[in-house]
Structure formats: C-alpha cells, structure tokens
Amino acid sequence: DAGITQSPRHKVTETGTPVTLRCHQTENHRYMYWYRQDPGHGLRLIHYSYGVKDTDKGEVSDGYSVSRSKTEDFLLTLESATSSQTSVYFCATHAYEVDGYTFGSGTRLTVV
C-alpha cells in the first residue's frame, strides 16, 4: 500500500549485529504492529503500538525492541541478531479498533 513503507526491503546481516527495521505510514493511523512470518507458521505478533510512546509486547517479543516517537514511524530493533530471526517482517496499521489492518510490503531479513 502506498501509505505504508517498510525499509529496507531486503537485508543480510551477521549474527550478533544490531538491526533496525523501519515502518513509515502517511495515514495518521493510531495503531501499528510488527509481525514476522516464517514457513510453517502464520503471522506472529512481535510488538504493537496504540499511540506515540505507547507500545506493548506480542507473542514473540524476545530479542526485539520497538520505539514510536512519532505517529508515522514505528521502528523494530533486533538488539543482537540471531539466525532464528531470519524471517519476513511485516508492518501493519489501522486507525480505529474495528478497522481492518493495512500491511506493508515486508522486509526480508537474513541473518548469517
């Protein structure tokens, strides 16, 4: 979707290095999410945000941190990347509780 941009689209990094993925939205949506998708698993929630500086953990938050200093940006940081964090990462947003989510195009991260 044109209103959500994930960067980078692809990244290869080494084990033990920090990595930050960015989700940028121009929709002024209140809610933002980070998911990961792996073969054999559905999308799994890592962290979410319900407003600026308001974030909480999802079901697979270990090894990840997030920050949301302004409405449009939601950053996902892998403090020290591991091979188990090789995955496709999706950002999603929505404005109101009942709305469907809008997803970004994803970031394919490979940790070697």
Map the footprint of another protein across residues 52-111, applying CB under 8 A: 56, 58-59, 88, 90, 92, 97-98, 100-106
Most distant CA pair in the chain, distance? 40
Question: How far apart (Å, rounded) are the C-alpha atoms in residues 75 and 33?
Answer: 10
The distance of closest approach from Cβ of residue 32 to another protein in the complex, given in angstroms and rounded to an integer, is: 10
Please provide residue 65's backbone torsions phi and psi, each rounded to the nearest 5 degrees: -135, 160
CA 15 to chain centroid:
19
Q: Which is nearer to another protein, 16 or 94 (CB)?
A: 94
Map the footprint of another protein across residues 22-51, applying CB under 8 A: 31, 33, 42-45, 48, 50
Note if the bond before 18 is cis, omega within 30 degrees.
no
Site residues (CB under 8 A) for another protein? Answer: 1, 31, 33, 42-45, 48, 50, 56, 58-59, 88, 90, 92, 97-98, 100-106
